[in-house]
Amino acid sequence: MNLKEKMKRRLKLNRPSLRARARPPKQRTALGQQFTAANLPVSLSMQVCTACEHHQYPPAELCGHCLGDTLRYQEVDTAGQLLSRSELHHSLWEFFKRRIRTKPWPIGSVKLRNGPVVIGHLGEDTLQTGDDVAVFSHSDASQASVLIIVSAGTPIATPEQREHIVAALNLKQPAEKQGGI
């Protein structure tokens, strides 16, 4: 096998679809990584401006309201209202492609009571537009924080309760390749 053929073969075997274990997107910006770190110990932490109390999401360098360099992470209220929901039947990422083979992947967007609009994984299939919901964060199988949307009143106060919901979503386990390479 010459070098060209070898490289071609390596490229072919490097396809995401051939990986034994696929994980959710790990890539985050430096600010996104800070979001993950800030969210490890609590149910939901966000940047809040110490000058104007603006809640900033997605994470940013400066306050989107007063442009101050005054954003600090703090634990925030999880309550919000579901704006829209959808099921993905198609994904660009191998982890979700494998999950979608069994069931479409539900996502939604939420207007949090304290301001920001967030996109998240739907923790319950039955949620409808306009429902009162709670949003919490949890690490996925790539060790990055993602947001999970559940109906208001769902117990999410302890790490064990949140872990249970995320495990049921199959977010903590990599998606295994069936049938070998």
Partner 1 sequence: MKDYQGVVMTTPVSLGYQRQSPHGASWFIGMVLRELILRSGVSKTDVEGLAVSSFSLGVDSVVSLTQQFGLSPRWIEQADMGGVSGIVALRRAARAVQAGEAEMIACIGGDGAAHRSFEHTAANFSSWSIDAAFPYGAGGPNAVFSLITARYMEEFGATREDFARICLDQRYNANHYAQALLGHKTLSLDDYLNARPIAGPVHLFDCVMPCAGGEGFLLMTEDRARHLGLPYVQILATDELHNSFSEDPVQQRAGWACYRDALYQRAGLGPEDIDMLQTYDDYPVISMMQIEDLGFCDKGDGARFVQETDMRFDGSGKPANKLPHNTCGGQLSCGQAGSAAGYLGLTEALRQLTHSAQSNQIATARTCLVSGYGMVNYDRGLCSAAAILQEADS
Residues lying near partner 1 in the complex (CB under 8 A) are found at 24-25, 27-29, 31-32, 35, 57-59, 83-93, 95-96, 104-105, 107-109, 111, 117-121, 129, 140, 144, 146-147
- Could you tell me the smallest distance in angstroms from the CB atom of residue 44 to partner 1? 13
User: Which helix (H) or strand (E) covers residue 179, if one does?
Assistant: none
The CA distances from residue 157 to 42, 137, 138, 154, 170, in Å, are 9, 12, 12, 9, 20
Q: Which C-beta is closer to partner 1: that of 29 or that of 158?
A: 29
Q: Is 7 helix (H, G, I), strand (E, B) or coil?
A: helix
Cβ proximity to partner 1, 27 vs 178, nearer residue: 27
Contacts 24+ apart (CB under 8 A), 99-103: 99/170, 99/175
Quote the least distance from Cβ 28 to partner 1, whole Å: 5
Q: How far is the CB of 163 from partner 1 (least distance, A)?
A: 19
